[in-house]
Amino acid sequence: VKLGNGVEMPLLAAGSGGWNSSRAFQSFSAALKAGFTAIDTAHEYGNQEGVAKALQTVPRKSVFVETKVPGCVTDPSSLNPFRCYSATQKNLANDLHELNLSYVDLVLLHYPPAPTWIVRSCGNLTGSCEMIRSQWRAMEEFYKAGKARAIG
């Protein structure tokens, strides 16, 4: 599939939600050996050590790496609604470091900020619109710095 900025993304990826690092390593190693060309992980899964170890077994350019950052006020690292931008910057940097990569192919906002769950929309009443904009700004900077080939 071709993304809006021209980056090609495989249609099928091996995922790692709910696994510890050891299981992530075993599963991704098997998936890569079986021919998978994409992996899907997320900062909050906490298994980047295993993901990184599996990625070291193949050439970096042979695998599409997708990761995600949590919505603001949903993760212990982003509980302050006034620090969505800096929390997102920190999550992005930590994720890249823990994956032992200089860039990822795609970063997604995993889900919207917690206040949107209550009102079911992006609204000024809860501040969720500003939270999303702050997170998106951090992701755009990450992209422009060449640390992600695409964001969404």
- pTM for the predicted model, two decimal places: 0.89
Give residue 140's Cα distance to chain centre. 13
**Confidence at residue 50, expressed as pLDDT on a 0 to 100 scale:** 96
List the catalytic residue out of 45, 85, 103, 143.
45
Q: What is the DSSP string of 82-144?
A: GGHHHHHHHHHHHHHHHHT-S-BSEEEE-S--HHHHHHSS--TTTTHHHHHHHHHHHHHHHHH
Q: Residue 111 — pLDDT band, cuts 50, 70, 90? A: confident
pLDDT at 149 over 80: yes
Give residue 94's Cα distance to chain centre. 11
Q: Coil, helix or strand for 2?
A: strand
Of 15-24, 36-45, 110-119, 133-142, least confident by mean pLDDT is 110-119
Active site residue 45: yes
